[in-house]
Amino acid sequence: MTESSPLPSDTPDVEAGPAAGGGLSRRRLLGVSGSAALAGVVAGAAGTYAAGRASASEPSPASAGSTTLGLDAPIAFHGPHQAGIVTPAQDRLHFVALDVVTKDRAELVELLKTWTRAAERMTAGAEAAPGGLVGGGPNRVPEDTGEAYGLPASGLTITIGFGPSLFDERFGLADRRPAALEELPEFAGDQLDPRRSGGDLCIQACANDPQVAVHAVRNLVRLGFGVVSVRWSQLGFGRTSSTSTAQATPRNMFGFKDGTNNLKAEDPAGLTEHVWVAPADETGGGAWMAGGSYLVARRIRMHIEVWDRTNLQEQEDVIGRDKKEGAPLGAAREFDEPDFARKGPDGSPAIPLNAHVRLAHASQLGGIRILRRGYNFTDGTDGVGHLDAGLFFIAFMRNPGTQFVPMQRALAKADGLNEYIEHNGSAVFACPPGTQPGEWWGQALFA
């Protein structure tokens, strides 16, 4: 975190990614004096990364690690899409859903402008506002809360979304609500808690340092005092997806590799087809959402004490992959294609009919895919001796009604996992496209 006022000059045609493959840190940025110099460093670093992604030196999945991915480095804020969607998933999450408490449209617009400027700064490794920590002098409230001062940018991304409830009568947005932005229907088995669901706005802050992610949300909430109030929030301590082939697949709280067959940044055709809203999408929301994406969040409690008393064969049958390697049952390696027709030694399907990966696979769902970007969570205990732990499921897609909804319906109906999990929070948001320098989040929506 630095004091200077960066104006990150990004490469608009490059997907948001680590702006410096070699680990540019806030400590190194601290050695650069002046905002122009800092902006130059960030811009140059972005160029380095853009060149590196296509080069032969890109890390292989096996070698992907903190050094090669530059986990301290800043991620480019500007671009055609918001960062934090196909950005290689960072390790930590702070997600917050907010309600707008003002009735004044102008106040909301002003906040979105202020938030955009603060997000540009914080993702570049700077304080939320110039002179944040102490620059206002002893008689003023500091403009930055301070807990990330001296920490590197840590790959921070801040992604904003607009919930269906924002498009009611309050702000004159009713006729701008995309048809795709509907509250999710109730699914079989849902145990949703309204205190963990919904919201007018969301902010997803991801970083490789939890303090940096929490600092980002805290400062945006602080800036929104009197305009927005926090409805619910969720911390995530470990990613449960890979969104880049350069990342090793992480494990979820059931001990299984999660994110193997995910959409990845290196598959632009797949992202165009399944993730980014196209200008011509009739349900997408029109021009203001083109290049954006829809975010579905589900807080899924995992009954790990029950799972931990379940034998390995049953665990693998429920998922449809082996626990150690992550290979589809009947195959040998993690990235082998699942063969759903294959029979096991006893003549029954090698991947059971109610296995999670069979029911969620595109081949069983008319080609539907989503980009998963969830996090493990543990929120203490439930008062009767069980960990309140699970998966904070986040997924991005072009249309929740034709992607998440049919997929979750299929899972809710037959998934063997249902015995071990419970969905207790739910929300959907429209994440507008990325911004260019000088623009602000949602500018085209409020135009």
Ligand X SMILES: C=CC1=C(C)c2cc3[nH]c(cc4nc(cc5[nH]c(cc1n2)c(C)c5CCC(=O)O)C(CCC(=O)O)=C4C)c(C)c3C=C
Report the interface residues with ligand X, using CB under 6 A.
252, 254, 256-262, 298, 300, 302, 319, 321, 356-357, 360-362, 370, 390-391, 393, 404, 407-408, 411, 417, 421
> Rounded to an integer, what distance in angstroms lies between the CA atom of residue 245 and that of residue 265?
8
Minimum gap (Å) between residue 280 Cβ and ligand X: 26
Q: How far is CA 358 from the centre of its chain?
A: 24
Minimum gap (Å) between residue 82 Cβ and ligand X: 21
Minimum gap (Å) between residue 320 Cβ and ligand X: 7
Residue 83 or 184: the one with the smaller Cβ distance to ligand X is 184
> Rounded to an integer, what distance in angstroms lies between the CA atom of residue 21 and that of residue 59?
10
Cα separation values, 274 from 15, 284, 365, Å: 16, 12, 13
Q: Where are the alpha helices (DSSP H) in 333-375?
A: 356-360
> Rounded to an integer, what distance in angstroms lies between the CA atom of residue 404 and that of residue 396?
9
| Contact call for residues 111 and 227 (beta carbons, < 8 A) | yes
Three-state DSSP class for 402?
coil
Residue 149 or 187: the one with the smaller Cβ distance to ligand X is 187
Minimum gap (Å) between residue 77 Cβ and ligand X: 28
Residue 404 or 441: the one with the smaller Cβ distance to ligand X is 404
> Rounded to an integer, what distance in angstroms lies between the CA atom of residue 98 and that of residue 230?
4
| Contact call for residues 332 and 339 (beta carbons, < 8 A) | no
Minimum gap (Å) between residue 254 Cβ and ligand X: 5
Residue 6 or 390: the one with the smaller Cβ distance to ligand X is 390
Residue 26 or 264: the one with the smaller Cβ distance to ligand X is 264
Residue 227 or 370: the one with the smaller Cβ distance to ligand X is 370
Minimum gap (Å) between residue 231 Cβ and ligand X: 21
Minimum gap (Å) between residue 372 Cβ and ligand X: 6
Residue corresponding to tokens 């998933």: 89
- Other CB atoms within 10 A of residue 372 CB: 23
Residue 81 or 372: the one with the smaller Cβ distance to ligand X is 372
Q: What does the DSSP assignment read for 5-58?
A: -------TTSPS-BS-TT---HHHHHTS-SHHHHHHHHHHHHHHHHHHHTSTTS
